[in-house]
Amino acid sequence: MVRFRRKTCITLTILMSLIFLMMMALKTLRPVESRFGNPFGLGLFPALQRAEPEFHKTNVEEHIERRSSKNNLTKSMTLDNQLRKVSLPNYNLHTFYYSWYGNPKFDGKYIHWNHPVLPHWDPKIATSFPRGKHNPPEDIGSNFYPLLGPYSSRDPAVIEAHMQQLQTAAIGVLSLSWYPPDMKDDAGEPTDELVPAVLDIAHKYQVKVTFHIEPYQGRNDLTMRNNIQYIIDKYGGHPAFYKYKTRTGSLLPLFYIYDSYLVSPETWGNLLKESGHNTIRNTKYDGIFIGLLVEEKHKHDILAAGFDGMYTYFATNGFSYGSSYRNWKSIKAFCESNNLIFIPSVGPGYVDTSIRPWNIQNSRNRINGKYYETALSAALQVRADIISITSFNEWHEGTQIEMAIPKTAGEITYLDYLPQKSSIYLDITRKWAEKFNTEREKWLV
């Protein structure tokens, strides 16, 4: 009996030793890329391998989207350090910015996110398309859905997040859509009271602010003179207030005048020519005034009116004479021969069928950023004085470079930036901002 027990112990000892040796051998055969060493060599047998956390997917964008999905607005708007690749701002790179958005938390109601669907001007065509208003927060007046959700432009955290994104993109100047105090666009509310907050927060991020004056009712040479005086007196002393350095070395405020063609060259001349009845030239309210070029004849109207330059605004290549890349070379030549500034406008794409469902023909696919890069390349090829971006956040027309996310809400599936990151258009802008700086240095040699 004792002999039997002894043999059994010896046998068990040998068997355990063999098992131990086999385990060690298998462990040495585990895959090199295995992070922590799969137990018992299971890395050799994929069918039996346990799923491990996908650590390579913990990128900034997913962090932000996860926070946003929990409605943690403050955290979602604090961009991760990995995203915020800060570059020096390029003050020859401007972007059009809209502060007309509102939500119940900050404004008591949704503003602009509930934009009405606009009817076609032909009643026969209009009957073929839906009418009504959008119903936020799931249904908004945009073909894309913002990472920050249907935000309020009054929310300081939103302005902060926007300035962080502008800094990421190396954009130096924000061109703020502006109406005179107590005036507004058809779908919005007055926004002049938001200007101080925009200026203050922009200054924190080295972003300058200029004004994009909208075509309000009653706009003429006299009301515009009052507008310019108001803006310069109230905001001109702020360190974030943008001033353009002229060829003579003077620093003057710059104003974009949207739909300037709605006012006759003769009327503009009263304000913008030295001989005009209400001239601002050679006064403390003098500035650089940029008119909108849509049709070819507007080149001559802008020159006759006394403007200092022209911009093209629209992000739809081929939509108008001014927005067509093929015309930019001749427009630039016209400007050079008449001592005018040429500011072509580039954009990442265009789609406004959420509010103009009949306007499909003017949509321009983003092509994963290629459309945007083609526009930026065209602007550099003509040696543009300044490049303007349409837009940072004009969500209704789908021209935004602001961060967007994939979203489906009921029957609505929004467009998105996939397979690229939510920051793709900020990244592209930063890359071309650096190219623009490099090219300008060559031009000035």
Peptide bond just before 253 cis, omega within 30 deg: no
Of 79-83, 280-284, 391-395, least confident by mean pLDDT is 79-83
Q: Helix 265-272 crosses helix 298-305 at what angle (to 10 degrees)?
A: 30
Q: What is the structure's pLDDT at 443?
A: 86
What is the pLDDT at residue 124? 87
Confidence of residue 444 (pLDDT cuts 50, 70, 90): confident
Q: Is the pLDDT of residue 321 over 60?
A: yes
Name the least confident of 9-13, 19-23, 24-28, 317-321.
24-28
What are 114-140's pLDDT values in tens digits? 999 999 999 988 888 988 999 999 999
Of 277, 264, 272, nearest to 290 (Cα)?
Answer: 272
By three-state DSSP, how is residue 309 classified?
Answer: strand
What percent of the chain stands above pLDDT 70? Answer: 80
Q: Which residue has the tokens 């509310």?
A: 189
Residue 133 DSSP symbol = B
Q: Is the pLDDT at 164 greater than 70, yes or no? A: yes
Q: Please tell me the predicted confidence (pLDDT) of residue 43.
A: 31
Among 20-34, 227-241, 299-313, where is mean pLDDT lowest?
20-34
Q: Is the pLDDT of residue 86 over 50?
A: yes
**Residue pair 46/38 in contact by the 8 Å Cβ criterion:** no
- Banded model confidence at residue 18, pLDDT cuts 50, 70, 90: low
Q: Binning pLDDT at 50, 70 and 90, where does residue 213 land?
A: very high
Res. 399: pLDDT tops 50: yes
Residue range 171-198, pLDDT digits in tens:
999 999 999 999 999 999 999 999 999 9
Lowest mean pLDDT among 5-19, 26-40, 147-161: 26-40
Q: What is the pLDDT of residue 218?
A: 96
The larger pLDDT score, comparing residue 88 to residue 324, is at 324
Q: Determine which helix (DSSP H) or strand (DSSP E) holds 369, and give its type and residue range.
A: none
Answer for the pair 394, 141: CB distance below 8 angstroms, yes or no.
no
pLDDT at res. 364: 97
Task: Give the integer Cα–Cα distance in Å for 439 and 441.
Answer: 5
What's the rounded Cα separation, in Å, for the pair 341 and 363?
29
Q: What number of H helices and E strands is found in the chain?
A: 13, 14
pLDDT at 75 over 80: no
pLDDT for 442 equals: 87
Residue 97 has pLDDT above 80, yes or no: yes
Q: Is the pLDDT of residue 22 over 70?
A: no
Q: Where is pLDDT greater, at 8 or 341?
A: 341
Distance of alpha carbon 265 from alpha carbon 306, whole angstroms: 8
Contact 312, 304 (CB under 8 A): no
pLDDT at 274 over 90: yes
d(CA 275, CA 293): 24
How far, rounded to the nearest angstrom, does the alpha carbon of residue 68 sit from its chain's CA centroid? 19
Q: Mean pLDDT for the chain?
A: 86
Query: Which residues lie closer than 8 Å to 437 by C-beta, 6 or more apart?
Result: 90, 92
Would you state the pLDDT for residue 87? 73
Kindly report the three-state secondary structure assignment for every residue of 129-156. CCCCECCCCCCCCCCEEECCCCCCCCCH
Reported confidence tier of residue 46, pLDDT bands at 50, 70, 90: very low
**More confident: 70 or 234:** 234
